[in-house]
Amino acid sequence: PPAAHSLAATLRQVPVTALMIGVSLLVFALSGIFGDLLIVALTIVPVGISGGQLVYGSLADTVMGGQVWRLLSPAFLHFGWMHLIFNLMWVWYFGRQIELRQGSKTMLLLLLVAGIGANLAQYVTGTVLFGGMSGVVYGLLGYIWIRNRIYPRPILSLPGGLLGFMLIWLLAGV
């Protein structure tokens, strides 16, 4: 069918964005099967319960021990359908624009910088049980906004009012 061909063609043009969405969907599905076992494998540091208390390792020990994936993996954890849908809708909207116009290398770099940066910022607040693409989404939004302000002829679309809406949504979530 033409619609399926069109979607497949679009996905081939934005492999990083498609991979971000695919991995998030897969992790969400697998968390329904494996539950907490998968979640603790993807948190920024190993977590467990001892004496009824949450215990967790240090980030330095975790990374020095070779578990480098944990710097990014919380971005792929989502704790409910609405969380997943909201994040992936914006990943598709912003990520597709960036990747189509600036390439997969730029999109991958933005995923790594925004994902790891957001996860480290969340960890610094003292939280270890967190997840989602919100940090990446806001990183992509910020990238588009700043790029549009720097270059006289922006190549990325940011409709009027969207920045305000997203900032209000961020404050409501905090």
This prediction's pTM: 0.88
* Digitized pLDDT (tens) for each residue of the chain, 174 residues in all: 666 668 788 889 999 999 999 999 999 999 999 999 999 999 999 998 888 888 999 999 999 999 999 999 999 999 999 999 999 999 999 999 999 999 999 999 999 999 999 999 999 999 999 999 999 999 999 999 889 888 877 777 777 777 677 777 666 665
How far is 174 from 161, CA to CA, in rounded Å?
20
Tokens of 63: 């990374």
Residue 152: what pLDDT?
75
Cα distances (angstroms) measured from residue 21 to each of 55, 60, 164, 171: 31, 29, 25, 25
3-state secondary structure of 54: strand
- Give the contacts of 145 (CB within 8 A, at least 6 positions apart): 158, 163
Residue 174: what pLDDT?
56
How far is 123 from 118, CA to CA, in rounded Å?
9
In residues, how long is the chain?
Answer: 174
Widest pairwise Cα distance in the chain: 59
Cα distances (angstroms) measured from residue 15 to each of 20, 29, 73: 9, 21, 18
Q: Which helix (H) or strand (E) holds 105?
A: helix 104-124
Amino acid at 78: H
